[in-house]
Amino acid sequence: MVVPRRLLRLPLIAALALAFVSLALISGVAYIAVLAGATGTAERLLVDRAERVVDAQVAMIRSRLDPVADHLELIAALAAAGRIDIDSPVAVREALAVMMARVPAISAAAFATLDLQLHRAVRHADGHVTSDTESLATQPRGLERFRELQTAQGTFWGALFWNEALKQPLINVRTPVRRIDNAFIGGLIATVAVGDLSYLIGDASQGTEGRYFILVGRDKVLAHRRLVDARGLDLSEEKPLPTIKEVDDPVLANFWDPPVRSARIDKALGGFGRIIRAEGRQWVFVYREMRRYGPEPWLVGQYYPLEEATGDLDRLTNGAIVGAATLAVAIVLALLMGLSMARSIRTITSAAESIERLEFEQPLHKRSLLREIDDAGQSLDKARGALKWFGAYVPHRLVFRLMELGESAVVSRRRTVTVMFTDIVGFTPQAEDLQEQETADMLNHHFALLGACIEETQGVIDKYIGDCVMAVWGGLSKMEDHADQAIHAALEMARVIREDNRQRAADGKAPVRLRIGVHSGPVVVGNIGAPGRVNYTVVGDTVNVAQRLEQLGKDFMRENDEVIVLVSGDSIAAMKHPEALGELPTPELRHVKGREEPEQVYRLV
């Protein structure tokens, strides 16, 4: 009799429990052999810990400095686009002050203009920010640094320079401001005090105990416990940083001495550490190189006594004496670990299924004591975050279609579809009276209202063009009632916009006025673009007519109209159930650019 395979399948919990109990029993027999091979374990663990601390320090430095460059580029983009009046010192200084409020790491920020004026915002020791305007000629090497900005093509971190007021060197990032025609109209600079970095990587919660450092080049010290207060080091514009011999750290002073070889630890250190002898002891250095924040590379690291590593190995040997007595406990723990692992794996399986369903809103990962499972869960959570952004740029229906049909889903083909264009009336002057975030919030809310109407009718948002939306029905897969669904979506948009305008009026805000154009006809559907950057979109005369119908709404829209919906005669003819619209209005014949014959145009709203 053949036993069905399904009867041979063990529950995951039982299989893992059996595996761990067996492993625990076998480990009792092999304990001595395992102990002999564990020589480098303690050293590797300690080095791993130090590497994680250094990696955390690198991550903290990046999180501290990268936003400085990002915000500086944002201010440059706003100035280049004319959103900041660079001819107004007050407007420029206000923009710099806002940037400094958002990025506490910045100690000073400045905008240099073509008339050689320097508009500045400076953070004082009490956190208060003041601003002023001075001539570049009064700044040390001000004109020279301005010329560097004029020839630069992008954001860069400059060489450190001395600040006499703060009595410490400053890290600085600079970016030229260029209009769209690449004409140079000024330059931005932001600075970060070196003492702040010493506070940052010397955080006691990181367990560095003052044994941390950042070197610039080979021997100049950028961050160290001694640089939290740099007084007494005789620093100046000619010598903005001390050397490793000058920071009162005899261990760091010997950093570049010939290394001491250690067969047990050298392999663990790899190319990211060294052992040196100082103060009668041996010290392990672990470090990372950073390139970006200036013309010379940075070396970020820490050090600790060698005996901290070898002491762990001695304790491991002593632990062998009581190892046999813990075997019974290990069996019980193995069983519990098996149960825990089974639950964790079930969680990961559920998470993978959620990703398959493109459900990204809730975090998927639950922490596990098992490193690999925890890493797998964190990787899934990172994948969820990445795919969430992917889902924000790519329609979910297209993703599901790709999962279902593979590459054949995006092969270019001719298909009859319905295309819609929407546009907010007078958005540009309205947006000029709003802050950048208010503008973004308004558009996001508006697009959410329209997107819900499009999704409910199986439409797909093809793209956003400023304050416009282009949507398609029948593009991803054949849809018999594409015209019915698109027109229903347009009418639903009109309803929700009116409701939203009532709320906006109650909040004292101006109403949103919307034009909608709908047209049906043949298009080419598929991947359009260069090999490295494509869009799954529709092209053809039908798209042009739909957009021109939306523009034609300018002729129909009256001053008190909140929404206007224009539908072509081709869309009405393509409807499967035109009776759902009730009695249609009399169409008007209008000439549409690009067409010789006039187009029938129905105004439904």
> Do 452 and 472 reside in the same domain of the chain?
yes
> Do 168 and 76 reside in the same domain of the chain?
yes
- Least confident window among 3-7, 207-211, 509-513, 564-568: 3-7
User: In the listed set 260, 286, 317, which residue is the last one of a domain according to the structure?
Assistant: 317
More confident residue, 385 or 306: 306
Would 358 be classed as within a structural domain?
no
The SS3 assignment for 189 reads: strand
> Do 225 and 307 reside in the same domain of the chain?
yes
More confident residue, 52 or 387: 52
Residue 6's pLDDT band (boundaries 50, 70, 90)? very low
> Do 461 and 481 reside in the same domain of the chain?
yes
pLDDT digits (tens, 9 = 90+) for 199-216: 777 654 444 556 889 999
d(C-alpha 512, C-alpha 564), whole Å: 12
Q: Is the pLDDT of residue 416 over 70?
A: yes
Q: Is the pLDDT of residue 397 over 70?
A: no
Q: What is the pLDDT of residue 218?
A: 84
> Do 558 and 462 reside in the same domain of the chain?
yes
Q: Is the pLDDT of residue 314 over 90?
A: no
Would 574 be classed as within a structural domain?
yes
Residue with tokens 């000058």: 246
pLDDT digits (tens, 9 = 90+) for 250-287: 999 999 888 888 766 777 677 778 888 998 888 888 88
**What CATH number is associated with residue 112?**
3.30.450.20
> Do 149 and 291 reside in the same domain of the chain?
no
Would 187 be classed as within a structural domain?
yes
User: In the listed set 193, 218, 247, which residue is the last one of a domain according to the structure?
Assistant: 193
Residue pair 130/142 in contact by the 8 Å Cβ criterion: no
Residue pair 483/490 in contact by the 8 Å Cβ criterion: no
Q: What is the pLDDT of residue 225?
A: 84
> Do 437 and 488 reside in the same domain of the chain?
yes
The mean pLDDT of 92-113, rounded to a whole number, is 90
Q: Is the pLDDT of residue 152 over 80?
A: yes
Q: Is the pLDDT of residue 2 over 50?
A: no
Q: Is the pLDDT of residue 169 over 60?
A: yes
Instruction: Say if strands 514-530 and 468-473 run parallel, antiparallel, or are unpaired.
Output: unpaired
* Structural tokens at position 210: 């003052």
Q: Is the pLDDT of residue 531 over 60?
A: yes
Q: What is the pLDDT of residue 517?
A: 96
The mean pLDDT of 437-463, rounded to a whole number, is 91
The mean pLDDT of 399-416, rounded to a whole number, is 64
- Least confident window among 299-313, 324-338, 474-488, 508-522: 324-338
d(C-alpha 91, C-alpha 522), whole Å: 51
Helix (H) or strand (E) holding 515: strand 514-530
Residue pair 86/187 in contact by the 8 Å Cβ criterion: no
Highest mean pLDDT: which of 44-48, 129-133, 309-313, 327-331? Answer: 129-133
More confident residue, 8 or 353: 353
What percentage of the chain exceeds 70 in pLDDT? Answer: 72
Q: Is the pLDDT of residue 111 over 90?
A: yes
**In sequence order, what are the beta bridge partners of 162?**
169
Would you report the helix, strand and coil content of the chain in percent, each value rounded to 5? Answer: 45, 25, 30
> Do 289 and 211 reside in the same domain of the chain?
yes
Residue 5's pLDDT band (boundaries 50, 70, 90)? very low
> Do 201 and 221 reside in the same domain of the chain?
yes
Would 25 be classed as within a structural domain?
no
Q: What is the pLDDT of residue 140?
A: 81
> Do 224 and 152 reside in the same domain of the chain?
no
* CA distances for 296 relative to 222, 348, 596, angstroms: 12, 44, 66
* Structural tokens at position 332: 């019980």
Would 454 be classed as within a structural domain?
yes
Q: Is the pLDDT of residue 8 over 80?
A: no
Would 28 be classed as within a structural domain?
no
Q: Is the pLDDT of residue 4 over 50?
A: no
d(C-alpha 302, C-alpha 55), whole Å: 11
Would 367 be classed as within a structural domain?
no
> Do 49 and 82 reside in the same domain of the chain?
no
Would 566 be classed as within a structural domain?
yes
> Do 94 and 205 reside in the same domain of the chain?
no
User: In the listed set 158, 193, 228, which residue is the last one of a domain according to the structure?
Assistant: 193
Q: What is the pLDDT of residue 321?
A: 60
The mean pLDDT of 156-176, rounded to a whole number, is 86
pLDDT digits (tens, 9 = 90+) for 218-256: 889 998 888 887 788 888 888 889 999 998 889 999 998
The mean pLDDT of 319-348, rounded to a whole number, is 66
Q: Is the pLDDT of residue 33 over 60?
A: no
Helix (H) or strand (E) holding 196: helix 194-201
Q: Is the pLDDT of residue 159 over 80?
A: yes
Residue span of the structural domain in which 55 resides = 42-59+197-317
Number of domains in the chain: 3
Output the average pLDDT for the chain.
81
Q: What is the pTM of this model?
A: 0.45
Q: What is the pLDDT of residue 123?
A: 87
What percentage of the chain exceeds 90 in pLDDT? Answer: 31
d(C-alpha 505, C-alpha 500), whole Å: 9
The SS3 assignment for 10 reads: coil
* Structural tokens at position 66: 């990268």
d(C-alpha 143, C-alpha 124), whole Å: 25
Q: Where are the alpha helices (DSSP H) in 127-193?
A: 142-151
Q: What is the pLDDT of residue 327?
A: 65
**What CATH number is associated with residue 449?**
3.30.70.1230
Q: Is the pLDDT of residue 182 over 80?
A: yes
d(C-alpha 356, C-alpha 400), whole Å: 9
User: Whole-angstrom distance between the N-terminal and C-terminal Cα of the chain?
Assistant: 74
* CA distances for 351 relative to 12, 386, 388, 401, 402, angstroms: 17, 14, 14, 21, 21
The mean pLDDT of 582-595, rounded to a whole number, is 87
